[in-house]
Amino acid sequence: MADTAILAAQTPAAKARPAGTALEARLAELDLPKGGFTAAARTDAAARLNAMGLPGKRDEYWRYTDPAAFNDPVAQPLAFTSRQSTLFDDIEQLKLVFVDGRFDAAASDALEGEGLEVSTLAAADASGDHWASDLYGKLETAGQNPVKRPFAVLNTLAANDGVLIRVTGKVSRPVHILYRREAEDADVIIRHVIRLEEGSELTLLETGGIAARSNVAIEVEVNKEARFHHIASKRADDAKIGIAHIFARVGEGALFKSFTLSVNGSMMRNEGVIEILGDDAVAHIAAAVLGDGTEGRFHHDDTVFITHAAERCESRQVFKKVLKNGADGIFQGKILVKPGAQKTDGYQISQGLLLDEGSQFLAKPELEIYADDVKCSHGSTTGALDETAMFYLRSRGVPKEQAVVLLVLSFLADALEEIEDDRLRGDILTRLDEWLTSRASA
Amino acid sequence: MLNIKNLHVKLEDEDKQILKGVDLTVPAGEVHAIMGPNGSGKSTLSYVLSGRDGYEVTEGEASLYDHDLLDMEPEERAAAGLFLAFQYPVEIPGVGNLTFLRTAVNAQRKARGEEELSSGEFLKVVREKAKALQIDAEMLKRPVNVGFSGGEKKRNEILQMAMLEPKMCILDETDSGLDVDAMRLVAEGVNALRSPERSFLVITHYQRLLNHIKPDVVHIMSNGRIIKTGGPELALEVEKNGYGDLLAEVG
């Protein structure tokens, strides 16, 4: 009895009902598509999810983030304070607009472009045959071992829409997925599937408010010598409660780079699952996070798993979180070097900058190495603003609030450097600077 | 001018008195040097004047023209015309030297109610001043002090000084870590800024910097007080005989 009481106290979400019925309750609220080309993957996902159940706080990878908000059958409505995102507006792009998780053709550019084959999941899934059937749910399934990711399975089962992009050439114009919200209680599940054919190149941008609660998964296959850049910006009230997965498979000589900017929100979990399968490939994943607990809860979790299964590959994880007013930042990052993945160069850094004493940063770096000729390093630090640097800036006449902004940007610099394109990085920096400056006194 | 009267300072967190009654006046246009053995309180004086945390003024006062320095935030002191060249300039990764300089210049102008410099105006001035200090465009673009050599860091301090045009410049051991050529370059930069409206307080262990930046007055500091004041010859005396004789003399 005593044990049960403790368990119940620790996991308030789980106490109401056992796991099986929690999942049933969750699924009962969903509008589950039957699927055309995805039908088999969805059936498989249903079986896997039933076997797996929804996570609880006792699960190893949910120890620092309570999954209750993702487990709840219905999303809490979220009032609008947001305006449309204008980030990357001045950059030539192929714009794809999603309103409350559904593709809005009228607001979007035509689904065409040189070197691109684009369709939407909802439209393509009406038919039984599509190139994406090789990938839909496949990368997600591969990413379930050894760590279970139930919400990604849920995504495979229940995704209603998304984009399917096949890249056959070097596409200079970024594809910009722009999310917009209309309903205050939208609870959306979106899946994007991307295949970069040999030697091709694509930049994918994601911005805007998705929904009151969102579950977005991206599966991306980067084939031989292809280059994929992903830049996501998740702003203020854009995604109060959101979970996102990116599953990547990186081939020989290919490059994968993903950067996410998160500015507030209340409960966010981003998982990156990257499998490097070809020799001489490069995979980088980075995030800059700014969390302020004043507007309610702020909890931001980055969970990354990079598998090296080929020789002479480089991986890099750069995660920086600036936290204040009781904000929580979590980082769980793993590098697995498989037998034979010689000359691996793996690097991981996670850092928390705490602007007050009420915030916390928790990091769990993991290395698992089964090859003997590799270079892997990891580091994690948590600290306050450097007082000497503060004094240096102020002694030059820079007011305290502005000095904090400069030092926060300085702290985030390594993560921002992961954005290769100068204009995209510049846009992000300008936006960050404006945001920080506008709230400098808060 | 800078006016310090009977300044007593202790460490905030410790019961340790560092300055025990400093009296010092630096009139407009003059260069004063403060020399003294390690631990005499020279650097503390520079930090207290510029407003660094960690010190508590227990007695005395310090003013710059009609500003009561001790009541002001560090950035207010800077806007009032005080500048401290750091012994160890701080590296700020990810913040470009130019961005930093422009932020500082415009913050001070704004604080004084002056119009901010446009990007074009600022660049024109900074390029001119950087050239005189042999600071190239590359160094201006790099993050503040990151990867700079000792000499580059000190030249960067002087560039900031030149851009901010302070009334009172404090140089804290600016000669430390510099080779002869770098010292000459830094000294030339300082000398170019000498004017009837600007004063300097040069803190140093060694007389050699004073060969390049000629002081009007030399003060010897020991154990939290100024124990002797004289002309440039006082520095030569220290160089020749060390501090021992002077300390014994004062007793």
| Residue-wise pLDDT tens digits, A303-339 | 999 999 999 999 999 999 999 999 999 999 999 999 9
- The topology (CATH level 3) of B2-250 is Rossmann fold (3.40.50)
On average, the pLDDT of chain B sits at 94
Q: Is A395 close to B84, i.e. CB distance below 8 A? A: yes
Query: Residues of chain A with pLDDT > 70: what percent?
Result: 93
Whole-number average pLDDT of chain A: 91
Residue pLDDT, tens place only, B3-52? 999 999 999 999 999 999 999 999 999 999 999 998 999 999 999 999 99
> In this structure, what token pair is assigned to residue B128?
């001119």
Chain B interface mutation, best of A381, A394, A400, A414, highest count of B Cβ atoms under 10 Å: A394
* Mean pLDDT value of segment A191-219: 96
CB A202 within 8 A of CB A258: no
Give yes or no for B95 touching A (CB within 8 A). yes
**Where are chain A's structural domains?**
19-385
Residue type, A372: D
Among the partner-chain residues A402, A409, A417, the one whose CB lies closest to the CB of B107 is A402
A415-438 confidence digits (pLDDT tens): 999 999 999 999 999 888 888 888
Q: Say yes or no to pLDDT of B222 above 80.
A: yes
Mean pLDDT to the nearest integer, A135-153? 97
Q: Name the closest residue on chain A to residue B163, using Cα atoms.
A: A396
B89 near A CB under 8 A: yes
DSSP B152-214: HHHHHHHHHHHHH--SEEEEESTTTT--HHHHHHHHHHHHHT-BTTBEEEEEES-SHHHHHS-
Local confidence band at A20 (pLDDT 50, 70, 90 cut-offs): low
Give the dihedral of Cα atoms B96, B101, B102, B106; nearest 10 deg: 150
Residue A112 backbone class (left: φ over 0; alpha: ψ -120 to 50; beta: rest): beta
Contacts made by residues A399-403, CB under 8 angstroms, sequence distance 24+: A399/B73, A399/B75, A399/B107, A399/B111, A400/B73, A400/B75, A401/A440, A401/A441, A402/A437, A402/A440, A402/B103, A402/B107, A403/B75
Confidence of residue A11 (pLDDT cuts 50, 70, 90): very low
Quickly tell me which residue has 């001489």 as its tokens.
Answer: A280
In the predicted model, what is the mean pLDDT of residues B76-100? 95
Ordered DSSP codes for A189-205: EEEEEEEEPTT-EEEEE
Task: Give the distance from residue B245's alpha carbon to the nearest chain A alpha carbon, in angstroms.
Answer: 36
B13 touches chain A (CB under 8 A): no
Interface touch A393/B92, C-beta < 8 Å: yes
DSSP B117: P
Of B177 and B105, the structure prediction assigns the larger pLDDT to B105
Q: Read off the tokens for B174.
A: 């600016």
Residues of A in contact with B89 (CB under 8 A): 392
Give the Cα separation of A155 and B191 in Å (integer): 69
B197 touches chain A (CB under 8 A): no
Taking the C-alpha atoms of residue B48 and residue A49, their distance in angstroms, rounded to an integer, is 65
Q: Which helix (H) or strand (E) holds B44?
A: helix B42-50
pLDDT in tens, A224-268: 999 999 999 987 555 579 999 999 999 999 999 999 999 877 899
B231: its two tokens: 């002309």
Which chain A residue shows the shortest CA-CA distance from B96?
Answer: A410
Q: Work out the average pLDDT over B69-84.
A: 97
Q: How confident is the model at residue A2 (pLDDT cuts 50, 70, 90)?
A: very low
Is the pLDDT at B102 greater than 60, yes or no? yes
Minimal-distance CA residue of chain A relative to B159: A396
In eight-state DSSP terms, residue A294 is G
CA distance B77 to B111: 11
pLDDT for the residue numbered A8: 36
Reference A35, options A139, A102, A126, A135; nearest CA is A126
Contact of A16 with chain B, judged by CB distance below 8 Å, is answered with: no
> How far apart are alpha carbons A54 and A59 in whole angstroms?
10
Contacts of residue B143 in chain A, CB cutoff 8 Å? 410, 413
pLDDT, residue B206, reads 84
At A15 the pLDDT is: 43
Mean pLDDT of A396-414: 96
Question: Residue written as tokens 């910006």?
Answer: A233
Q: Which residues pair with A188 in a beta bridge?
A: A214
Report CA dihedral (A60, A64, A67, A69) to the nearest 10 degrees: 180
When scoring A322, A388, A396 by the number of chain B Cβ atoms within 10 A, the one with the most, hence best to mutate, is A396
The mean per-residue pLDDT over the stretch B227-238 comes to 93
User: Residue B222 forms beta bridges with which residues?
Assistant: B225
Q: How far apart are CA A136 and CA B245, in angstroms?
A: 86
Looking at the predicted structure, is the pLDDT value of residue A117 above 50? yes
Residue A15 to residue A275: CA distance in whole angstroms: 36
pLDDT of A18 reads: 52
Q: What is the pLDDT of residue A199?
A: 98
B111 touches chain A (CB under 8 A): yes
Neighbour-count burial for A24-62, b at 16+ CB within 10 Å, e otherwise: ebbbeeeeebebebbeebbebbbebbeebbbbbbeeebb
Q: How far is B75 from chain A (nearest CA, A)?
A: 4
- Residue B95 neighbours by CB under 8 Å, 6+ apart: A406, A409, A410, A413, B143, B144
Contacts of B75 in chain A (CB under 8 A): 394-395, 397-400, 403
**What is the CA angle A350-A353-A359, rounded to 5?**
110
How deeply is A383 buried, as exposed, middle or buried, from its count of CB atoms within 10 A (0-12, 13-18, 19+)? exposed
Task: Give pLDDT, residue B251.
Answer: 58
